[in-house]
Amino acid sequence: MPLATSAATDALAYTLASLSGLTPDEAVACALRAELDRKRAVAGLQPAPQPEPTVEELLARIRSYGPWEGPTSAELAAELYDAEGLPR
């Protein structure tokens, strides 16, 4: 059952998401887990085990960073090795 949210709550979720590089749903889930862990620590309870992200979640997070803008593998290899393939 979805939770009712307000415009202010949505704005907070989107702000947290943009600052942390997560989707709004991931940011809210992360914030809720952190708060639950703090409450459990105060109560002397163990933190809940963290679920492992699925491959789809990891790929979505990687795609959210945008295209790679760094050097290519050929450029990196050229910096490390000479024309004969020996280390510089």
2-53 pLDDT, tens digit each: 676 899 988 999 999 999 888 898 889 889 989 998 998 899 888 778 788 8
What's the pTM?
A: 0.51
Q: Using an 8 Å Cβ cutoff, are 37 and 48 in contact?
A: yes
Q: Is 6 helix (H, G, I), strand (E, B) or coil?
A: coil
If you ran DSSP here, which 8-state letter would residue 64 be given? H
Question: What's the confidence (pLDDT) of residue 31?
Answer: 92
For 32-47, b/e burial (b = at least 16 CB within 10 A) is: eeeeeeeeeeeeeeee
Mean pLDDT of all residues in 48-59: 86
Beta bridge partners of 41: none
